[in-house]
A and B are shown apart, each in its own frame.
Chain A
Amino acid sequence: MKFLIFLILLFPCLSFAQIPVKEINGEEVWQGQVIIDGIVAVRNEGKLIIKEGTEVVFKTIDIDNDGIGDSELYVEGEIYVYGSENLPVIFTSDEPIKEPSQWKYVMVNHAKYAYFEYAIFESAFSGLQIHFSKGVVKNCIFRSNVDGFRFSTSNIYVCKNIMTKNKHGIRYEERDSKGIVEYNHIFDNEIGIFPVTACNDNVIFQYNVIEKNGYNIKVGDEQKKDLTFKKNYFGMIFEKDIKKTIYDKSYDKHLPKINFKPFLKKNVLRSNIKCLENGY
């Protein structure tokens, strides 16, 4: 029996034995430059506050040799990222040339609360992932990642962010998520928005500028239900042109349909927009 328990406990440790883990259990404030070499985990009782102008640098390590950097920030407690327009918080790799997957992600999972304002996420596998949590993401930039912003089963408010030069600007499995995604500029990604599966239209995408992506929206092969993306601007004024940028039933009869009408015919003047304070 004791040996069995020992093996069970040892198994996960063996897999990650070589990745250094630092835990945050109380309140911690970051400013200046912070280097993450391995995993920093904000545990359930932990609270991390990141002040404006902070540069969080993830060391490029790939111990499991899967082509994805292993350094990450993992949050189960609370995280508050307070960048400002002139002094954003930057999450980046230590490489001089920024490429996707040099570090893993900022992962908010089963967390108490997550707030991100004026942060830049670059050269990650996923810039930011939010799962089973409540999160607000405002005025951030997601660039040169595989997935810019990714979420599932969360209450989210995502406003006035920029997603560019990612494989997927926003990737999500809605499941039991609720929330609003508005006034974002999603451009120059391979796919602008990628609803992978289990999406039910409970997250509202509105007043976004979704343009110049390989596909502006692409539905995952396992998504069943038709989805609505009304009142967004796609950089075009004719329905037939917009349709070509949306990979749905019109490309593959087994896929559901994306309803994008009515669509906006003018660009959204995002500079005049004030996002909701806490999203709700």
Chain B
Amino acid sequence: MFRKWLLILSLLFAIGINISYACVGKTIYIGHINSLENELVGNILSRLITERTGTSVKLKKFSNANELFQAAVNGEIDLFMFDSNEIKAIVQTTDFEKAKTDINTKFNLVLLKPVYETKAGYNVPIIRKDTLKKFPALPRLIEKLNGTLAPNIVSELTKEIDKKGIRDTVREFLKSKNLI
């Protein structure tokens, strides 16, 4: 009996301390491959989420698609954009819908609606299942980007980065679309 109470008290104490020291806010980690285009899209996602929800967002760079995907599986990142062909390759299928289900069940990752079309597929936001539980409204927010990005727009925006820097380019783009 005494042990039981001690355990309950210990749990309450531990939870209490964690609550006390965890009030800076939630942070979402977004991963992207180390290229200007991917950095731009990562920054667009980051800015949109932080401005609209007040949630802190941090970006992490990875050298290739495999590392990026693995980081999400390992829980180092919460959200990332991925090419639909890469997704199909990972689960070795040509059927996108099957790939979606397989990624969900095998890796606990949820594919959201594609944000924009690329030359040979789609750029798809992928979120960890546990992140989605914590931030259930994220898919609806990210969907607001649908129709605003296309390869030619992304290419134009990457050129603007040279002149204005990534921060202002992203901010102006999102403002021009009334998204922030």
Give residues in A with beta carbon < 8 Å to B: 1, 4-5, 8-9, 11-13, 15-16, 66-68, 74, 104-105, 107, 109, 125, 129, 131, 168, 171, 194, 196, 220-222, 247, 251-252, 254
Closest Cβ of chain A to B45, distance in Å, is: 14
Contact across chains for B53 and A66 when beta carbons are under 8 A apart: no
Write the B140-180 contact mask toward A (1 if CB under 8 angstroms, else 0): 11001000000000000000000000000000000000111
- Whether a CB of chain A sits under 8 angstroms from the CB of B137 is yes
A252 cross-chain contacts in B, Cβ below 8 A: 144, 178-179
Contact across chains for B54 and A171 when beta carbons are under 8 A apart: yes
Write the B31-59 contact mask toward A (1 if CB under 8 angstroms, else 0): 00000000000000000000011100010
- Which of B13, B54, B137 makes the CB contact (< 8 A) with A194? B54
- Which of A4, A129, A222, A247 makes the CB contact (< 8 A) with B53? A222
Closest Cβ of chain B to A12, distance in Å, is: 4
- Which of B6, B23, B52, B179 makes the CB contact (< 8 A) with A5? B6
Task: Pick 27 A–B contacts, CB within 8 A, sort by A.
Answer: A1-B7, A8-B7, A8-B11, A8-B14, A9-B13, A12-B14, A12-B17, A12-B21, A16-B17, A104-B24, A105-B23, A105-B24, A109-B20, A109-B23, A129-B23, A131-B23, A168-B54, A171-B54, A196-B53, A196-B54, A220-B52, A221-B52, A221-B53, A221-B137, A251-B178, A252-B144, A254-B140
Contact across chains for A9 and B21 when beta carbons are under 8 A apart: no
Q: In the complex, what distance in Å separates the CA atom of A254 from the CA atom of B137?
A: 12
Closest Cβ of chain A to B24, distance in Å, is: 6
Q: Which of A4, A16, A109, A222 has the most B CB atoms < 10 Å from its CB?
A: A222
A11 cross-chain contacts in B, Cβ below 8 A: 14
User: With A5-B6, A221-B137 known to touch, is A15 a contact of B14 (CB < 8 Å)?
Assistant: no
9 further interface pairs, Cβ-Cβ under 8 Å (given A12-B14, A220-B53): A4-B7, A8-B14, A15-B21, A66-B24, A68-B24, A105-B23, A109-B20, A252-B178, A254-B140
Q: In the complex, what distance in Å separates the CA atom of A13 from the CA atom of B13?
A: 11
- Whether a CB of chain A sits under 8 angstroms from the CB of B27 is yes
Q: In the complex, what distance in Å separates the CA atom of A1 from the CA atom of B5?
A: 12
User: With A16-B21, A221-B141 known to touch, is A5 a contact of B54 (CB < 8 Å)?
Assistant: no
